[in-house]
Amino acid sequence: MTDQLRPDDTVPAAPELFTWEFAADPYPAYAWLREHAPVRRTRLPSGVEAWLVTRYADARQALADQRLSKNPAHHDEPEHARGKTGIPGERKAELMTHLLNIDPPDHTRLRRLVSKAFTPRRVAAFAPRVQELTDRLIDRFAQRGSADLIHEFAFPLPIYAICDLLGVPREDQDDFRDWAGMMIRHGGGPRGGVARSVKKMRGYLAELIHKKREALPAEPAPGEDLISALIRASDHGEHLTENEVAAMAFILLFAGFETTVNLIGNGTYALLTHPGQRDRLQDALARGDDELLATGVEELLRYDGPVELATWRFATEPLTIGGQRIEPGDPVLVVLAAADRDPERFADPDVLDLGRRDNQHLGYGHGIHYCLGAPLARLEGQSALATLFTRLPDLRLAADPAELRWRGGLIMRGLRTLPVEFTPPG
């Protein structure tokens, strides 16, 4: 018996998180956590201690558990970390009172209202515009035979798409591109350029919403933009206030931007480094078979999904996850990318299989906060990858994968640059 109480030296040491190596490939560390410490209290680079939940079953349960609040006011924040945690919402600006920071019943009311305006039908009608944008961006570099696909493609596509959908006039969209660029380069830190960008975006949106409200016709015109639809949306006579519309527009930009950049960036990179899967996709596209594209984008989300940041939750009462007791006020981070490689849930989880069928991944979350923008993200992801690999069939990496730099790891995982080469289309 005593033997079993000795420290087990066959268990490898806990991996270091948040290093460069971790950002480049967090999956070995996630495998260790899932196996040896599936609910682990961890000090994040910001100084905050949070529980990391890495197994699929625990993650799914935690995402749906109403005792875990999205409202940062429930965070029992230690003095040393105050104001430095990067936890969304702690800035307390009115723009931060949005879907991802609130609980029922406020969440239920706001989500119902926004769902009336941001419908799958509206997104489907937007498909030609996304295709046009995708083509226009590729046109800009196609004849050069090389590009940085993050800066020239993955980054501008979602920001222009959301601006268009919201009804931001074309001539102002480059301002959004700059503000968003500032946010993505410097992360969610509350100070300096990021704060200035958020402030400018807020000012702009408030003015735009006000103007649109003043000019709103009594009946919706066909193809009315999303901001107007949000102003118009009502539920049992209830409407969104101008502030709520602004917060909603902001969260759509914020939640729908870097995530989609990374879906396109990580997805393209995964295809470029898995030639068998890439050939399979190109063959299917050449045959006009879009099914593999649809299952493929889901698989790319499972295999190397963009999000972790948005999963902050705070215990409002004592609870147990995966046998671990969590105290009220404790932050919990569900590590979606770790859950989505859990061998208890997915067969051969480290294998990229674009045709994977049993693929209920958590890349878009689960429960009442399930990604509202999933139909738009799918549309953009599918359009981007299909067009890229059809128009530039011999697309290849122009850098050693070991030299590529990744942003994030745990917060939001994506490439900083993705240099490629190809034969310019004739």
CB 72, CB 314: distance < 8 Å: yes
Q: Applying CB under 6 A, which of residues 44, 63, 113, 247 lies at the interface with ligand HEM?
A: 63
* Positions in 344-363 near ligand HEM (CB under 6 A): 363
Min CB(163)–ligand HEM separation in Å: 11
Query: Counting contacts by CB under 6 A, is residue 364 touching ligand HEM?
Result: yes
Nearer to ligand HEM, 259 or 277 (CB): 259
Contact call for residue 372 and ligand HEM (CB under 6 A) = yes
- Contact map string, positions 154 to 183, toward ligand HEM, x by CB under 6 A: --------x---------------------
Closer CB to ligand HEM, residue 182 or residue 261?
A: 261
SS (H, E, C) 24-59: HCCHHHHHHHHHHCCEEEEECCCCCEEEEECCHHHH
Query: Minimum Å distance from CB 214 to ligand HEM?
Result: 25
Minimum CB distance to ligand HEM smaller for 345 or for 369? 369
Which lies closer to ligand HEM via its Cβ, residue 15 or residue 187? Answer: 187
Report the half-sphere exposure of 72 (CA within 13 A, side-chain side): 23
User: Rounded to 5 degrees, what angle do the CA atoms 240, 244, 163 make?
Assistant: 105
Q: Does residue 331 interact with ligand HEM by CB under 6 A?
A: no
Give yes or no for a contact between 127 and 134, defined as CB atoms under 8 angstroms apart. no
Q: List residues bridging with 51 in a β-sheet.
A: 41, 332
- Chain centre distance of CA 340: 14
Residues in contact with 269: Cβ distance below 8 Å, sequence separation at least 6, in sequence order: 304, 397, 404, 415, 418
Q: Say how many residues touch ligand HEM, by CB under 6 A.
A: 28
Nearest to 369 by CA among 106, 100, 104, 113: 100
Nearest to 382 by CA among 278, 272, 263, 271: 263
Q: Which of 99, 117, 315, 388 binds ligand HEM (CB under 6 A)?
A: 99
Would you say 410 or 422 has its CB closer to ligand HEM? Answer: 410
Instruction: Yes or no: say if 97 and 231 are a contact pair by the CB < 8 Å rule.
Output: no
Q: Which tokens is 334 given?
A: 């569900």
Minimum CB separation from ligand HEM for residue 150, in Å? 15
Nearest to 59 by CA among 315, 254, 332: 332
Nearer to ligand HEM, 160 or 422 (CB): 160
Token readout for 227 is: 């901001």
Question: Which residues, numbered 297-326, are part of the site for ligand HEM (CB under 6 A)?
Answer: 301, 305-307, 310-311
Q: Give least dist CB 55 to ligand HEM, A.
A: 17
Kindly indicate which of the ranges 20-28, 214-222, 373-381, 390-398 contains the residues binding ligand HEM, using the contact rule CB under 6 A: 373-381
Residue 111 found at the interface with ligand HEM (CB under 6 A): yes
Angle at 151 (CA atoms; ends 150, 153), nearest 5 degrees:
65
User: Could you tell me which of 161, 249, 160 has the C-alpha nearest to residue 205?
Assistant: 249
Range 233-292, binding ligand HEM (CB under 6 A): 251-252, 255-256, 259-260, 263
Q: Which is nearer to ligand HEM, 156 or 305 (CB)?
A: 305
Q: How far apart are CA 194 and CA 184, in angstroms?
A: 9
Residue at shortest CB range from ligand HEM: 373
Tokens 């990318």 locate to 337
If one asks whether residue 377 binds ligand HEM (CB under 6 A), the answer comes out as: yes
Measured from the CB of residue 286, what is the shortest distance to ligand HEM in angstroms?
25
User: Which is nearer to ligand HEM, 23 or 372 (by Cβ)?
Assistant: 372
Residue 373 is a binding residue for ligand HEM (CB under 6 A)? yes
Q: Which is nearer to ligand HEM, 137 or 371 (CB)?
A: 371
**Helix axes of 275-286 and 374-391: crossing angle, nearest 10 degrees:** 90
Residue from 296, 322, 365, 409 touching ligand HEM (CB under 6 A): that is: 365
- The candidate with the shortest Cα–Cα distance to 198, out of 258, 254, 261, 260, is 254
Q: What is the H or E stretch that residue 334 is in?
A: strand 331-334
In whole angstroms, the minimum distance from the beta carbon of 236 to ligand HEM comes to 19
* Strand 238-239 relative to strand 324-326, pairing: unpaired
Site membership for ligand HEM, residue 100 (CB under 6 A) = yes
Which positions lie near ligand HEM, rule CB under 6 A?
A: 63, 99-100, 111, 162, 251-252, 255-256, 259-260, 263, 301, 305-307, 310-311, 336, 363-365, 369, 371-373, 376-377
